[in-house]
Structure 1
Amino acid sequence: MNATDTRLAAWDVLGTRLSGVRGSIDAMKESDLAGWNVRKVDLSASEVTDTGVTTLEVPDRWATVRTNPTTGGTEYLGVVGSHYQPIQNEEHATLLDAVIDTGDAQWVAAGASHGGKRTFMTMRLPDEVQIGGKDALGLYLVAFNSHDGSSSFKFAVTPVRVACTNMQAAALKGAVSSFSIRHTAGAGRELAEARRALDLTYKYVETFEAEAEALLAQRYTNAEFDKFAGTLFGVQDEGKASKRALANRDGMIALYRDSDTLDGIRGTRWGAYQAATEFIDHVAPVRGRNQALARATRSFDGASQRTKQAAFALLGA
C-alpha cells in the first residue's frame, strides 16, 4: 500500500494552504477568516397554530451570527447563554503570532468547518523530533475556536508523523498538550497567559518523545497486534461484535501488514501505534460522500483524539 504521497493532514483537507504567509493579518485574509465580526443577537421563537403565529422572546439564550466576508450577509452560527463571549478569529490569529518567539515558525493552513461554526489555524514549529533517529515527527501549533458554544478556544502542540501525516495524540501523566480558554468575560486575561501555557505544552513533546522511544524499542508480533486491534475497537466476541467494529479491526490489521509507511518500524509497539493513527486519520470508514473531508472533520471533533489516546495507553500498558 503506497500512500506516502497521497495523504494530507486534516488542515490541508479542510482549510486553505498558507504557503509563504508570514503574519497573522495575511493569514486571516488568505483563508477568508478576517472580518467575521461574530456577535450575539437577541433570539425569539415562533409558534404557528390554528389561530395564527405567536412570537416569543427568549430571554436567556442568544444566537451567534457572523458577517460572511464574501457576501456581506449575516449568517447564523449557534445558540449560546448569557456568559458566552465571542472570541474573534483575529484574536486567535494574533495569539499565535504572540506566543511564537522565533521567526522560523511558519503558517501552514487555516479554515473553517461546520458551516463556519468552528475555525482553526495551524503553524509549523521549527523543531522536529526523530524517534529512534529514523522516524521523523514535525511539530505543529494548532488553534481551534468555536462560534456556536460547542467548545472553548484551544491551542495545542501536535506532533505529526512526516511519513504519512498522522496526527499524534496521547494522554501522558504530568504532561499537558493543550491550553483552553472559555468564552467568558475573562477571556482577555487568559489569552495573556497563553505564552506561559505554551511552555507547558513543549514539555509534553519531551515526554511524548521519551515514551515513543520506549515503544520503538519493544518488539510486537502480528498476533499481539491483532489482539490490540480487536481490543481498540471493542471486538471481544466476533459473534456479538458489530459489523462496523469488525470492519475497523480487519481494516487496521490489513494496513499494518501492507502499508509502506510502516517500513522500518513494523514489528514494534511504535509501529503498532502508527498503524492505529494512520488508520484513524486516513482509512477508517466514515459517513458521507467525501470520505477525506469527513475524516478530516472528525480529526478536529475530539473522537479521533480519544481513540488515539486509547491506542497509546493500550500499547504502553
Structure 2
Amino acid sequence: MAHEIEQFSDGTAAFVSAHQDAWHRLGTVTTSAMTAQEAMQLAALDNWNVRLVGLNATEPTPDGPALLDIPNHRATVRTHPKTGHPEALGVVGTDYVPVQNEEHAEFLNYLVDESGAHFETAGSLRNGRTVFLTMKLPQTMTIGQSDTVELYIAAFNSHDGSSAFRIVVTPVRVVCANTLRAGLSAAKSKYTVRHTSGARSRIAQARQALGLTFKYAEDFEKAAQRMIEAKMTTPMLRTVVEQLWPVSNADTDRKKTNQRTRWNTIRNLFEQADTQAAVRGTAWAGYNAITEYANHLAPVRGTIPDLKSAARAERVISGAADDVMERAFSLMTV
C-alpha cells in the first residue's frame, strides 16, 4: 500500500493519531492529546530493543556447508511488537549505533515540557524500518487577515541505516491542509543526527532546536506577510512556474503538452480557486496555487482512482513535493 504503515496479522496497525482519523483509516484515534508513553504504546513502538547482530553466510563445500563471518557489517534486529520474535530490519556498518524508539520519544517529550506542545501522530513504516512521531506546537502564525498557520515538529528515525535521525519543522495551512515546509536555511528548520557513537549526546544538544523553531516561525511569518503585500499578476506567476519546471524548444512534444496542462491548472487555482479568494492577486496566492498543485493535483502514475488518491496523500505526508515548494518559496521571497 502507498501509505506504508506497518500492519499486523491481528488486524491492528502501527499508527496513532490525536483527535482525527488519517486518510488511510488505519490505527488508533484518541479523543485527547497524547503523552510520549501513550503515543509509543498505541502505535506499538515500545520495547523493540533494536540491536546489532553479526552476519554470516554459508557456502557449500565437499565437507558440508561452511559458515563464513561477514566483516564490517551488522544486521539491525528488533523484537517484534506483536509476536515477540526477533526480526531483521536492515544491514549497517560497524559504527552504526541504534537510536531506540524510546530515545526518539524522549527527545520530543523534552519539547513538550519546554513548549506545551503535544503529540499528534506516531507510527511505523516499511515494517519497522522507519518510525515517526509528530507534535503540534502551541504557537500559531497569522498571515494576512484570514490564513492561520500551525506549526508541527516531526521527528523521523530509520532502523535500517537508510537515513539519520531527523527533526523537521513543518507549517501547515489549515484551510487546505497543504504542507508548506519552506526551507529557510537561516532559520534552521531541520536538525539531523547520524547513527554513530555520539548520537545520544548530539540528540541532547539538539534539544536547543526548540528555540530555533520559534525563530523559524517568526521568519516564515514575515516572509509570508511580504508575499501577501506583494502584487502578482498571471504573467508574473507564469515566469515562476517556468523557472520551476523549465521546458526548452528541444524538448519532446509530450513534455511541452505537460507544461501547458500544468500551467493551465496552476493558473486556474490562482485566478479562480476559492482557497485563494481572500488573497487573490498576491504572491501568497501564487505560492499557494503552486503548493496546492504540487501536493494534490500533479499527475501520479496508475489508472485506478483509489490508488491514485492514496499516492497523492502519500506525496503530502512523505514530503515528495517539498523541493518544488522550497524553490517556489525562495523565488517569491527574493
Same fold? TM cut 0.5: yes
Residue by residue over 1:136-192, the C-alpha shift from the partner in whole angstroms, topping out at 9 and shown as x without a partner, is: 101111111111112111112211101011111223252111211111111111121
The equivalent residue for 1:4 is none
- Are 1:145 and 1:152, in contact at CA under 8 Å, matched by a contact in 2? yes
- Are 2:53 and 2:75, in contact at CA under 8 Å, matched by a contact in 1? yes
The equivalent residue for 1:25 is 37
The equivalent residue for 1:71 is 83
Deviates more, 1:264-273 or 1:15-24: 15-24
- Are 2:33 and 2:118, in contact at CA under 8 Å, matched by a contact in 1? yes
CA distance in 1, matches of 2:57, 2:257: 42
The equivalent residue for 2:113 is 101
Q: Please state how far the C-alpha of 1:28 moved relative to its aligned partner.
A: 0.7
Q: Please state how far the C-alpha of 1:244 moved relative to its aligned partner.
A: 5.7
The equivalent residue for 2:10 is none
The equivalent residue for 1:189 is 201
**Secondary structure in 2 aligned to 1:101?**
helix
Tell me how many residue pairs correspond in the alignment.
310
Structure ID, larger Rg: 2
Q: Please state how far the C-alpha of 1:84 moved relative to its aligned partner.
A: 1.0
1:192-271 matched pairs, under 5 angstroms: 192-237=204-249, 239-240=251-252, 241=255, 248-271=262-285
1:284 corresponds to 2:301: no
- Are 1:161 and 1:167, in contact at CA under 8 Å, matched by a contact in 2? yes
- Are 2:75 and 2:90, in contact at CA under 8 Å, matched by a contact in 1? yes
Q: Please state how far the C-alpha of 1:47 moved relative to its aligned partner.
A: 6.5
Residues 1:62 and 1:254: Cα distance change in structure 2 (over 3 Å): farther
Identity of aligned residues (%): 41
- Are 2:21 and 2:29, in contact at CA under 8 Å, matched by a contact in 1? no
The equivalent residue for 2:155 is 143
- Are 1:170 and 1:308, in contact at CA under 8 Å, matched by a contact in 2? yes
**Secondary structure in 1 aligned to 2:90?**
strand
The equivalent residue for 1:5 is none
Residue by residue over 1:236-257, the C-alpha shift from the partner in whole angstroms, topping out at 9 and shown as x without a partner, is: 4485337666654444344434
TM-score normalised per structure 1: 0.85
Q: Which runs of 5+ in 1 are unaligned?
A: 1-7
The equivalent residue for 1:3 is none
The equivalent residue for 2:311 is 294
Q: Please state how far the C-alpha of 1:221 moved relative to its aligned partner.
A: 1.4
- Are 2:172 and 2:179, in contact at CA under 8 Å, matched by a contact in 1? yes
**Secondary structure in 1 aligned to 2:292?**
helix
- Are 1:36 and 1:66, in contact at CA under 8 Å, matched by a contact in 2? yes
- One-letter identity of the residue aligned with 1:284: A
**Secondary structure in 1 aligned to 2:94?**
coil
Cα RMSD (Å) of the superposition?
3.1
